[in-house]
Amino acid sequence: QWLCNCSEIHPQRVFSVSQPKHGWFNPDRDHLFWLNQRLRGFRFRYGCEGPSHGGLPGASSEKNRKTYPTVKVCNYQGPARVVVQLVTALTSLPQLHAHSLVGKQCDKGICIADLQPKDSTISFPNLGILHVTKKNVAKTLEERMIEAFRMGYNCGVAIHHEIDSLQGEVRVPRELTDHQRNVISTTAALQAKEMDLSVVRLMFTAFLPDSDGGFSRRLEPVVSEPIYDSKAPNASNLKIVRMDRTAGCVTGGEEVYLLCDKVQKDDIQVRFYEEDDAGLTWEALGDFSPTDVHRQFAIVFKTPKYRDQNLQKPTSVFVQLKRKSDNETSEPKPFTYHPQIIDKEEVQRKRQKTLPNFQDFSGHGGGGGLYRGGGGPAAGGGPGSAGGGGGISPRPPDFRRFSQLLQVTSQQMEALFQYSVTGDSAYLLAPQRPLMTAQDEDGDTGLHLAVLHNQQAALRSLTQIVSLLPGEEVLNMRNHLYQTPLHLAVITQQREAVEALLLAGADPTLTDRHGNTALHLASQQEGGGMVQFLLKHKELKGLLEQTNTAGLCPIHLAILSNRLSSVRELLECGADVEAQERSCGRTALHLATEADNVSLAGCLLLEGSAKVDCCTFNGSTPLHIAAGRGSAKLTALLMAAGADPHKENFEPLFFREEESCDEEEEDEGYVPGMTPLNMATTSQVKTVQIYMNFTEPEPHVGDLSSLDAEVKKALCGALESEGRWESLAHSLGLGILNSAFRLSPSPAKTLLDSYEIHAVPGYNHTFAADVAAVAMTTRGFQLRFLSTGEALCAQVQDLKVDVRIDSGVCDSGVELSTA
């Protein structure tokens, strides 16, 4: 509620007035002023729904204390007439709106109320808003404009410059000429096409009496804040309803599912922030794209990195929704950041454990064995010997237990003798076979410990002994972290240990606590090589398509971990590049696009022949993701590979009014889905898409497949001998891939094969490759245009993308132009 005190109004905030014809009226003092604005959201109702239950409430309205829109005519006492009209909210100048005001004192879509002489304020307690149907917008708007012009209510609104210039005080009603009617009709049709039916504003105009008893002396109108239809996403108050997690690691990147009240997918942010007594200390945004907003009620985002990566104890911050268009925010919810766990698999912790001294195992330095001979306990002199007194009969010796101890000692002695002769430690371990299943406080067996401490000789001996144990699954025993010795061997990148365990019969299909097999773990490692090493064993190839508890295959984990070498090894060994992760159906190409990783995406397209228009469960392609995230370089790369910018996903482009009147609303039929063009969030992405849609006339292209093998071989030899294949690659529009071709034993053959495989009928590859290079360059455009394409040149001259690479060649072999 705006409390009005006229003496406190600053001159620059006082609305100006029309120049009166009578001296008692003071234009420097008399004006109309808001006392009470109204709430942001209000239910617009269709005619078939009946009247509204209660009028527009004021901003300070409460359940037991109702307020309504109120205005005051300041510095004036006497009769007045106030006209209330609906005008647009999102145009630079207010325009008449097609919706209608309904309620007491309302007629023809506007409200007219008389101010009593003794009052200076007037309230409007019964105002409702009638939603016009889409087919009637232009007709209703035309009628509204004609009536406003006739009655002189068009002050402060923009209709047409010929009409707007006739806003002086005249006798009403006034007649319209045929020309004026035609102008209004044309203007109404144009404005109707751009009109937002989900938001309006109230415009109040006060008229003071003239000498003839009419109300023609007009004060400058005042306009309210926007009033949104409560059914519209941008009208609702933002509210977080539920989150599936309220804590995360300082490194960020953890996925959170958030349920909320209705939002607009392209007008919402998830804001993390921290405050202290001095104010805001940190803020960051959750990472998601429009494709991660489901039907206006759910957002799947990844947490941002916290400002202090070396956090030592948990710290609490806040998370809230924020609307981009008006900076409206929801009530904040607490979120806790935890310190980073470096040693997640606890390998380093276990390696640093203090080992007992050798003397602890040596019988305290004395011999004392049963076969020592001489004065042992059985040699007399003890309490059970003859001659002892006391009347207590001695306990009979346990000959059975003594016999067992004697047998064990004999086995250990024999093992020692064999070890001394052969030097094979397996003889020493053989008598310990019954102890192989023993576990320490962390659940680790001897095999686990041998792997953890990189004791290859000990591991070989242990596996040799364990393999002889019948019915014992010692090789596959899990510790308290649910890790087998094979898991630890892969984590610590010990190929020799992996080989020994597999040869001994370790089961590679067993999973850890996250559902990861040895192949899953290997795909996330730096350096590469372990994936290829594991897949030399044919029985492990069945793990290529196995998913962990998060629904991810090894190739998905390699992408998420940014391991290009692992991706290549997986592809070479037959991994399915089109495999979908289980949560929402993303392929490896979707994940690479989400990560904005050109190298991985290029590798999947070139080496894995990934389908560029593969779809998630909701029908989104990688191009949807790239466009929604505003990535010009990924957009260009995908379109160069033939991505369709017009492909629709299953998210509706717009939502129908659920409660619109069937008898009044025409059946609009099929509701289209979102296309990448609809989702483009930056001018760079839109420019690339527009440019890529422009195609030159396709020249006649020969068919390389018609050449026989000998001719093709000779052609490749000629191209390579003189180094002409690079020039040919540039001519074919594949010059940006020359670094990748150089890695092949026959670059010319790889070039020709790639051109045949990746050629898209009707698509200009020279054009596509140029655009891909342009979108990824850090300098200006150097593009070739036909005369018909020169008009587009100005639109793309300033496109620059920050590519964080140290050289002109990506890891995937995609060469980036820096000229």
**Which of 337, 250, 265, 335 is CA-nearest to residue 300?**
265
CA 28 to chain centre: 55
Question: What's the rounded Cα separation, in Å, for the pair 268 and 289?
Answer: 10
> H/E element holding 565?
helix 564-572
Residues in a beta bridge with 206: 82
Before 173, cis peptide (omega within 30)? Answer: yes
Cβ contacts of residue 646 below 8 Å, gap of 6+?
675, 676, 677
CB atoms closer than 10 angstroms to residue 79: 15
Are the C-beta atoms of residues 598 and 810 closer than 8 Å to each other? yes
CB atoms closer than 10 angstroms to residue 380: 11
What tokens were used for 537? 């064993």
pLDDT of residue 687: 64
Residues in a beta bridge with 282: 274
What tokens were used for 639? 């379109």
What tokens were used for 83? 């006209």
Are the C-beta atoms of residues 540 and 505 closer than 8 Å to each other? no
> H/E element holding 294?
strand 293-294
565-578 as b/e: b if 16+ CB within 10 A? bbbbbbbebebebe
Q: What angle do CA 154, 160, 163 make, to 5 degrees?
A: 55
> H/E element holding 710?
helix 709-721
Are the C-beta atoms of residues 459 and 426 closer than 8 Å to each other? no
Are the C-beta atoms of residues 120 and 72 closer than 8 Å to each other? yes
**Which of 136, 76, 70 is CA-nearest to residue 100?**
136
Q: What is the DSSP letter of 232?
A: S
pLDDT of residue 513: 93
Q: What is the DSSP letter of 276?
A: E
Residues in a beta bridge with 316: 336
CA 398 to chain centre: 73
Q: What is the DSSP letter of 216?
A: E
DSSP 774-813: HHH-SS-------GGGGGGHHHHTT-------SSSB-TTS
pLDDT of residue 334: 96
Q: What angle do CA 297, 689, 643 make, to 5 degrees?
A: 80
Are the C-beta atoms of residues 810 and 602 closer than 8 Å to each other? yes
Are the C-beta atoms of residues 621 and 614 closer than 8 Å to each other? yes
Q: What are the contacts of 745-754 at 24+ separation with CB within 8 A?
A: 746/716, 746/720, 747/720, 748/715, 748/716, 748/717, 748/719, 748/720, 749/712, 749/716, 751/725, 752/704, 752/712, 752/715, 752/716, 754/606
Domains observed in the chain: 6-229 (2.60.40.340), 240-338 (2.60.40.10), 440-643 (1.25.40.20)
What tokens were used for 792? 């587009």
pLDDT of residue 126: 81
Q: What is the DSSP letter of 60?
A: T
Question: What's the rounded Cα separation, in Å, for the pair 690 and 385?
Answer: 107
Segments of 37-192 assigned E as strands: 41-42, 70-74, 80-87, 100-102, 106-107, 110-115, 121-123, 128-130
pLDDT of residue 766: 44
**Which of 87, 99, 89, 160 is CA-nearest to residue 134?**
99
What tokens were used for 753? 């094969």
Question: What's the rounded Cα separation, in Å, for the pair 675 and 677?
Answer: 5
Q: 274 by DSSP, 3-state: which? A: strand
pLDDT of residue 288: 93
**Which of 682, 643, 617 is CA-nearest to residue 768?**
643
Cβ contacts of residue 781 below 8 Å, gap of 6+?
774, 793, 796, 797, 799
Question: What's the rounded Cα separation, in Å, for the pair 229 and 99?
Answer: 11
> How distant, in Å, are the alpha carbons of 478, 559, 670 from that of 567?
28, 7, 41
Question: Greatest CA span in the chain, whole angstroms?
Answer: 148
Amino acid symbol at 755: Y
**Which of 409, 421, 494, 418 is CA-nearest to residue 458?**
494
Are the C-beta atoms of residues 56 and 128 closer than 8 Å to each other? yes
State the residue for tokens 């190298």.
599
Question: What's the rounded Cα separation, in Å, for the pair 483 and 445?
Answer: 11
Burial of 726: CB neighbours in 10 Å, binned 0-12, 13-18, 19+: middle
Q: What angle do CA 324, 325, 326 make, to 5 degrees?
A: 100
Global pTM reads 0.63
> How distant, in Å, are the alpha carbons of 253, 271, 305, 315 from that of 310?
16, 22, 11, 12
Before 745, cis peptide (omega within 30)? Answer: no
As averages over each run of 10 residues, the pLDDT of the chain (819 residues) reads 30 32 42 53 76 67 73 86 92 92 90 88 88 92 92 87 76 85 94 91 90 83 87 79 95 95 90 94 94 91 95 95 90 95 80 62 44 39 43 59 70 69 68 75 91 91 76 84 95 94 92 95 88 91 94 96 94 95 95 95 94 95 93 91 92 64 50 85 64 53 66 79 77 73 79 65 42 37 31 36 39 45
User: What is the dihedral sign for C-alpha 604, 608, 609, 614?
Assistant: negative
According to the 3-state scheme, what is the secondary structure of 595-614?
Answer: CCCHHHHHHHHHCCCCCCCC
What tokens were used for 652? 């509706």
CB atoms closer than 10 angstroms to residue 328: 15
**Which of 81, 117, 87, 82 is CA-nearest to residue 99?**
87
Are the C-beta atoms of residues 32 and 220 closer than 8 Å to each other? yes
CA 449 to chain centre: 41
> How distant, in Å, are the alpha carbons of 286, 297, 300, 561, 803 from that of 257?
11, 11, 5, 21, 30
Question: What's the rounded Cα separation, in Å, for the pair 481 and 504?
Answer: 22
Cβ contacts of residue 54 below 8 Å, gap of 6+?
none
> H/E element holding 317?
strand 315-323
CB atoms closer than 10 angstroms to residue 650: 12
Are the C-beta atoms of residues 481 and 512 closer than 8 Å to each other? yes
Residues in a beta bridge with 809: 815
